[in-house]
Amino acid sequence: MGDGGFMASYYNNETILFLNGEFVKAAEAKMDFYSQSLHYGYSVFEGIRSYKTVTGETKIFKAVEHYERLKNSAAAMNMPYHWTTDELIEATYETLKRNKLQDAYIRPVVYAPQNMKFDVNEQSFIVIEAWEMQPFLGDKLLRVMTSSFQRPNPKAFYIHAKAAGHYVNSILASQEAKAKGYDEALLLDMNGYAAEAPGANLFYEKGGKLVTPALGNILPGITRATVLELCNELNIETEEKFFTLDELKTADAAFYCGTAAEVIGMKSLDEYEFPLEWNNSVSRKIQLAYKELVTAPFRLPPKGEAINAQPLLIEVND
Ligand code: PMP
């Protein structure tokens, strides 16, 4: 499940994207074949979702958090970054509007100019793309396989950065799992602890408590943080720690979470079937609470007020 990889067609003749300050037709937009990003995977990106709320508005979920992470990813990679979060959020809402999109997947990419040397660039470029993403069907449980690939070692990469090159690892793991008839992979870290999916974070449930890998060797997911917030609101006990595959295979239930994946339960991991009926799990409660949160109503602030003043958490029914 590469982030956003669910759609067969990403754009058509009418599609508009935001390219370095202008709105242009995707079909006519050009990308430099000599870009350092294409040759070396040297770019940073985000995967964001917008939702049609229950009151019919378009809401970009956790827009500030995503654009702040984009900025931090660029900083980690020594890429110049001269945009503000507010201006990019505004450009994203405008991109959605021009493409008549509400339930969408949004993909900003910050990329590099021509440069085949390994030195720091003086310039960066940005593109924001959006495509349709259907409401998620949360009932299909995943059959997961432990990957033969490990996550990249944080001593080789800034693992908290969402850099394009890191995703070669994700592609290899996902392709391997699918070739073997599974829905998705689970990657371990370089110490052999359970880490994450190719494009999502991991939780397991045991005795009503939710456990997730500690930060350090994984992408610090915004959905992971949201799940922890929801657990706090719903009085569900949580723990962040390193744990082994053996421990994971004693869990009652488990799920992946990410912007694209949302919250998706697991049926099995390798030969191990998670014993708890998904509909009776605390994990299922979180899946429902997440769905309710992302489609909860919210209003854009009046013009002139900071967009990042928007409320990000709303009440959740137990
Ligand atoms: N881990 C990896 C490797 C990812 O690509 C993603 C998707 N961005 C996640 C975790 C989940 O992150 P988020 O919840 O911020 O989408």
What are the structural domain ranges in the chain? Answer: 9-131, 142-294
Question: Which pLDDT does position 50 carry in this prediction?
Answer: 96
Q: Which of 78, 51, 77, 75 is nearest to 63 (CA)?
A: 51
Select from 1, 3, 212 the residue to mutate for testing ligand 1; criterion: most ligand atoms less than 8 Å from CB.
Answer: 3
Give per-10-residue mean pLDDT for the chain (318 aa).
53 97 97 96 98 95 98 98 98 98 97 96 98 68 97 96 98 97 97 97 98 98 98 98 98 97 96 97 97 84 50 36
Question: Which pLDDT does position 225 carry in this prediction?
Answer: 98
Question: Which pLDDT does position 318 carry in this prediction?
Answer: 33
Ligand 1: nearest atom to the Cα of 170: 3
The conformation of residue 143, written as its DSSP 8-state character, comes to E
Task: Tell me, using a 6 A CB cutoff, whether residue 99 lines ligand 1.
Answer: no
Select from 64, 167, 172, 219 the residue to mutate for testing ligand 1; criterion: most ligand atoms less than 8 Å from CB.
Answer: 219
CA–CA gap between residue 249 and residue 116 (Å, rounded): 46
| Annotation: CATH topology of 142-294 | D-amino Acid Aminotransferase; Chain A, domain 2 (3.20.10)
Distance of CA 207 to the CA centre of its chain: 28
Question: Which pLDDT does position 2 carry in this prediction?
Answer: 42
Whether domain 9-131 has CATH 1.10.1740.10 = no
Burial of 201 (0-12, 13-18, 19+ CB in 10 A): buried
